[in-house]
Chains A and B, each alone.
Chain A
Amino acid sequence: MVNKRQIICIVCPLGCRMEVGLEGDRVIEVAGNQCKKGEKHAQQEVLFPGRVLTTTVKTKNPAAPLLPVRSDKPLPKGKLEESMEVMAKHTVSYPIQLGDVIVSNILNTGVNIIASRSMSKKS
């Protein structure tokens, strides 16, 4: 039984509308792409759609109440909203270095949420 999924490519401004045929969790075919990068993107997007999560986390620093954070790798697309719930419960204290791990292995995805900027005691 072949399932068809529609994917809009984001690799270049053409935005090719592709159709991906799936059997179970195997990609059988990709149609509508105009280049190899698009085909690769379609496969990835259908099987392991990942999104970098960027958000903020509360801090104990009244002068800078929020710290911008990001996932160090793409998270599975379906885990974004739940990750937001996890992050909402966190508060960090300064000082923080850019890259510090705020939440490690969030929701068991192997992805860390790290600080997107440094924040010294003064800022």
Chain B
Amino acid sequence: MEGRVTETQVLIIGGGIAGTAMAREFSKYKVDVCLAEKEPAAGFGICKGSQGCLHGGAALYGSRLVKWFDRKQDVAEYIRAPLHLKEKLNIAGRPIFLELEPFLKAKIYKSGLLFFAYDKAEMRALELIKEETDKLDFKGIALWDRDQIRDLEPGIDCSERIGAIYDPEDYTIVPTEWCTAFAENAEQNGAHILFNTEVKGIEEKNGYWLVKTNNGSIKAEWVINAAGLFSDEIAAMVEKIDWSFFLFEHQFLVLENKDYLKTMLFEMPIPFEPRLMIPTPDGNILGGATMYQHTDKEKKDLFTTREGLDHIAEIPQSFIPSVPWNKKIIRSFRGYLHFNTRNPDDYLIYWPRERFLNIIVCPPGLAPSAALAQEAVKMLGDKGLALVGKSDFNPYRENPRGFIDLPTEEKNEKIRANPAYGHIVCRCEKGTEQEVRDAVRAGARTLDDVKFRVRTGMGRCQGGFCTSRVLQIMSEEMGVSPLEIKQKGGNSYILKGETKELRGKGKAAA
């Protein structure tokens, strides 16, 4: 594998929410930092299929109840257990996201959370949750009865739900948007973000790590393994590991939200059958989910299934019966929750070698990442990495998207300077030609990457109108024929050939 050899001080493997948050954090210091991500864009691993929740207090404790709902033990044991590291990081990390919003200009939606109970036992669980969250100073969490629930969300069917815990401070994000925001701001501040770069092997050398990728080798003083679903494979390149992953899938519907729902809804009346409706900052609702268990061999299987879709098809209706949800389907997808066998309930963070840090996460992964990033910097600092702050660190992300949401005057100013802002190419989500160009200039190389940045193709028509136009613009910006543009990674070319290619050669190509 001949190719350019890059040298860096800190190499982060994995461009998900943890890796990109870390890259940005390191870029605040005079440290040479490099991030290697195997997909064409940030967050295209687990984050792409994530629910997008920044957990509040009720959700944090509520997640613990996944185990309890087989009803074998006293629920108090689960709820009163001391905070895990991931939960502490979540509590510290979430306010950081709120602080960062105006700087990185990535969206956060304050959805609040309603976590329902169907019977007395579940209500007791909610009461215990309130006790714990009170101790931790979470504001505004309350136990509600049916009337209070209906006051907030009149459409909810309360015939069997007897009450809920309400947490006003629950938030949702679009994870890939934040990954991109972190990565772009990191890059602005000197970090090297390498996409389409997959780590193939790691060798321990004298005083550094030689990391071999499909795009050449990288010499790094320090390596941080933040490769998410593939962090087991990366860890195994350095030592024989005694842990592995077990996975839970979740299949979701993406539904149109025309003011049907503002609050996140969650319940698990049947063990291992969570039911969620998650309003996203993009004006949709994620409705789901399945929770079938899988082996780690299946981690690349992202196809939805007949049983999965049939299962989740009924969920939105069961929450809000008055909306014809089957007519509001935009998309369906499958993602994963992964846990490690050594520490099934928590993160696994350790140094298998000097200057090689494994950060093996599990859900929740989003809110904690902002605090985890600070922790990682501290950990390397404590072990000897010199951390001198950059006086010229710019916390503001340039070129955030969302042209259509700007006030008229700003829009018109931008159009005057750049007429391509006035050319909307995506009818459903109102993405403009200039934003597509900007996305490519900022590093987008695939249709999905442009899609996740500009939202072209994410609406009702799923690219029916915009695909042709976006391909054309990308082709111009990238200087390649549209035939060379892919949907996502690997072999996902969108087009096959030119219209006249198969004829004019004699027999048609088989």
Contact = CB atoms under 8 A, between A and B. Distances in A.
A56 B499 contact: yes
A66 B499 contact: yes
Interface in A54-101: 56, 58, 66, 84-85, 87-89
A56 B504 CA distance: 13
Contacts of B306: none
B23 to A, nearest CB: 40
Contacts of B500: 58, 88
A94 to B, nearest CB: 17
B503 interface: yes
A85 B503 contact: yes
Interface residues of B, number: 5
Interface residues of A, number: 8
Contacts of A87: 503
A58 B506 CA distance: 17
A87 B503 CA distance: 9
A89 B504 contact: yes
Chain B contact residues, majority secondary structure:
loop
A84 B499 CA distance: 12
Nearest to A91: B500
Nearest to B503: A88
B16 to A, nearest CB: 40
Nearest to A57: B500
A107 B485 CA distance: 38
Q: Which of B500, B504, B506 neighbours the largest number of chain A CB atoms within 10 Å of its CB?
A: B500
A85 B499 contact: no
A66 to B, nearest CB: 7
Interface string B466-505: 0000000000000000000000000000000001100110
A66 B499 CA distance: 9
Contacts of B506: 85
A87 B499 CA distance: 12
B81 to A, nearest CB: 66
Contacts of A56: 499
Contacts of B504: 85, 88-89
Contacts of A58: 500
A113 to B, nearest CB: 14
B53 to A, nearest CB: 47
A99 to B, nearest CB: 23
A6 to B, nearest CB: 27
A56 B503 CA distance: 12
B503 to A, nearest CB: 4
Nearest to A88: B504
Interface in A36-70: 56, 58, 66
A89 B505 CA distance: 9
Among A56, A87, A88, max chain B CB count under 10 A is at A88
A4 B431 CA distance: 59
B482 to A, nearest CB: 11
Contacts of B499: 56, 66
A84 B502 CA distance: 10
A31 to B, nearest CB: 37
Contacts of A89: 504
A89 B499 CA distance: 12
A57 to B, nearest CB: 8
A14 B503 CA distance: 36
A64 to B, nearest CB: 12
A91 to B, nearest CB: 9
A119 to B, nearest CB: 16
A56 B500 CA distance: 9
B504 to A, nearest CB: 3
Nearest to B507: A85
Contacts of B503: 84-85, 87-88
A66 B503 CA distance: 15
A84 B503 CA distance: 7
A41 to B, nearest CB: 30
Nearest to B505: A88
A89 B503 CA distance: 8
Interface string A100-123: 000000000000000000000000
Contacts of A66: 499
A27 B374 CA distance: 89
B469 to A, nearest CB: 14
A121 B504 CA distance: 27
Contacts of A85: 503-504, 506
Interface of B: 499-500, 503-504, 506
12 contacts: A56-B499, A58-B500, A66-B499, A84-B503, A85-B503, A85-B504, A85-B506, A87-B503, A88-B500, A88-B503, A88-B504, A89-B504
Given A56-B499, A66-B499, 5 more contacts: A58-B500, A85-B503, A85-B504, A87-B503, A88-B500
The 10 closest A-B pairs by CB, nearest first: A88-B504, A88-B503, A88-B500, A89-B504, A84-B503, A58-B500, A85-B503, A85-B504, A56-B499, A66-B499
